[in-house]
Chain A
Amino acid sequence: MSDILGLPRRGKVVRLSASTQSEDVAPPTQPANVRAWPRTGRFFAFLPNLTLLVFVILAWQFASTVWLPRIDPHMAVLMPAPTTIAFTAGGMISSGELFFHLLASLKREASAFVIAASAVPLGIAMGWWRLIYNQVNPIMEILRPIPPLAWIPLSILWFGIGDEQNEFIIFLGMFFPILVNTIVGVKNIDPNLVRAARSLGAPEHKVLARIVLKGALPQIITGVRIGLGVGWMALVAAELVGANSGLGFLINDARSMLRTDTIIVGMLTIGVVGLLIDSAIRVLSRRLLPWSLALTR
């Protein structure tokens, strides 16, 4: 029952019991009743959860425009009001500035991901052949705990300041989550599926392509999700020190000019885009792998 109801649980339960209590609406079977709600009900059921957020924004507005200027006008500069931020955001969007930096960041994230995708074949090889795992794993175990940010000084010396250096840092952030999850995905495949495939005459390379890769795919996608998230964080850090464009550069550049409103617009953009990337992959994997959703249920 609880998994049918979905996330905004409380609002829906209240609505359900209300509808079953009313005499004029004869409740049909329970599942049909539950299913009818999300379309119209979910949106409104969601609203009460935003109460605190709205209150915080109002308090912030009050603090920035009334409270802080009264204590010290200089402090008000450090905490721009939500309305100011919205106004700045509007200006940055219409001038194309925000879009320019966002695109630069996304381009780096994408090209780093293309290279980091090499973790998938490596992970499959490590998960499948014991010998490769035993040889490669010690190297990975040494490199993995080094945070991508610790590579920044060396990478600047190697690549200079620019796209390559940034992409290298992002790549490091993405590579290991994808690798580790791919290995786990391969190792967790039901051995009977592999046996069944062999028993139906599948040669080794077909077993790898059609059973091992497919079976590990849900876990690989989990790795990609984590990897893109870590990469996105590493990206901003890399741009803070070694770039002439991108969202990280944008907020660091705005700091030197005390444009706190621009900084916050940049920060919010980083957050929202990170969230969008994550949701996009979740929706995509649910569409592409309907069977794995049923497995995890």
Chain B
Amino acid sequence: MTDRSRQVLATRGLSKVYGHGPSLVRAVDDVDLEVSAGETVSVMGPSGCGKSTLLYLLGGLERASAGEIQLAGERVDRLSQTRWARLRRYAIGFVFQAFHLVDELTAVENVELPALLAGAAPRRARQRANDLLDRVGMADRARHLPAQLSGGQKQRVAVARALVNEPLLVLADEPTGNLDTAAATDVLRLFAHLRSAGQTLVIVTHDSRVAATADRLMSMRDGAIVDQTRLGPRPSTMDNLVASVGLEEAP
């Protein structure tokens, strides 16, 4: 059982500005955020609201203009690029909208790559990659190249890759953005499994369906968090279901 009180990620006054003077844009504006171990948090907002920039700041892919980031209680916002790269290798898994798989490598080679880069023994890395592909339902496609996989399958491989070094935190940027409904459902089902396995997850998305899989929802507008709400679980789930599908109008 995961200790849910343990804080994995926290930010204070996190900001990112571009330009200056009259052309200054506050892409991320004074964001305070706390994510506990095992929690899934989604950040939702229209395109251009700054949610992707926020995710890039959290993963050290961009440097904040102001504010603090703590990962497992350690300040990380002032780390050098090299230290950030190390952190991303060991502690943070990324899932991108466009999958970002290496085209020349098979599914299993893509998954094991971050483990090899982190210094795992090749046999151990391969075993872990195969286990993860099995977990995401892709064991029978392990030897396929990305070009031989559908969008949904590619994203499942990418999720396996994000997990290969057992990261503290997984960051996902529009993970279903390039997928049709059925493939998106597969990926959402996978995230639901990750959540029940205690994986800490931050998802940014404009898709309400993806956002609704989280424990907590933050809404972003013009770079700022304007709204926060806990989504569930709720005690009256069956009543809500009945009202939502329209069954309650039956006599």
A, B from the same assembly: no
Tell me the A residues contacting B by CB distance below 8 Å.
none
Tell me the B residues contacting A by CB distance below 8 Å.
none
